Amino acid sequence: MFNRRTLVGASVATAAALTLAACGDDAGSEATETNGTIIVAATSVPHAQILQFVQDELADEAGLTIEIEEFSDYLQINPSTADGSTDANFFQHLPYLEEDNAKNGTDLVEIAPVHIEPLALYANTAASIEDIADGAQIAIPADPSNGGRALALLQDAGLITLADGVEVTTATEDDIADNPRNLEFVAVEAAQLPRTLEDVDAAVINGNYALEAELSPAEDAIASESAENNPYANYLVTTSANAENEDIKKLGELLQSDEVKQYILETWTDGSVIPAS
């Protein structure tokens, strides 16, 4: 017989996503008794990797056990936390969290910022921004917060200009005021973006999926976000009911520890993952 803490996985998360979309109800509204063991949903790189470091090197002394549930599709992660299948998650920045809460009627909250993964533009056929041809097709993330972030990156690279006063976290193609190279944008689910490089002229790829595809913002990208004043730190997240859970708060402290910051700097020396503070 399965119980709440073992029935975790993509199929459960998918069902949760459908339920939340249909009724907007936050099923995980009751506080969880974790008793020193936390189930954390995460994408594999770098999130699960960082969590594994904490489990191996820091958790025992802190009296914690971290059970890491890896998801290949980040669209399924928040539903797994909202319905109580997982106690917390680690994969997202605040603009995405706010957008997802509004869309699904959930009340997930941030606990601690951990790291930044600079978003970057990659191309198989262009060696620089100057090589992006007139009429080029560029793939961007399909979710609104990362789609707007991608357009902001393309603006910083000089490829487009967004209208004055546009909030970049919610920007869409309709907010493009100037597109001198007549670029065509293709919205693609973020996990699939690395695969599109064979079919499009360039793609703006989320940091975690670039890492999984062995792409480096420093070495392979033709344009990349600056880490300075970057608002897209990735957070440990849980339900509002679990916001004061001592085990989850303790994990947040460990994820912000000097040991984790040093681990990030030594593991991703190319700057593809950067401590948030």
pLDDT at 29: 64
Quote the mean pLDDT of the chain: 89
Contact 204, 153 (CB under 8 A): yes
The token pair at 127 is 């060696």
Torsion of CA 177, 155, 98, 264, to 10 degrees: 180
Whether omega for the bond prior to residue 46 falls within 30 degrees of 0, making it cis, is yes
The per-residue pLDDT for range 101-117, each reduced to its tens digit, is: 999 999 999 999 999 99
pLDDT at 169: 80
Residue 17 confidence class, pLDDT cut points 50, 70, 90? very low
Residue 26 confidence class, pLDDT cut points 50, 70, 90? very low
Q: What distance in Å separates the CA atoms of residue 228 and residue 130, rounded to the nearest whole number?
A: 24
Highest mean pLDDT among 4-8, 21-25, 73-77: 73-77
**Looking at residues 140-162, what average pLDDT do you find?**
96
pTM (2 decimals)? 0.82
Torsion of CA 8, 13, 18, 24, to 10 degrees: 90
81 versus 208: which is more confidently predicted? 81
| DSSP β-ladder status, 120-122 and 223-224 | antiparallel
pLDDT at 11: 34
Residue 25 confidence class, pLDDT cut points 50, 70, 90? very low
Torsion of CA 260, 262, 267, 270, to 10 degrees: 120
**Looking at residues 240-254, what average pLDDT do you find?**
98
Q: What distance in Å separates the CA atoms of residue 219 and residue 234, rounded to the nearest whole number?
A: 22
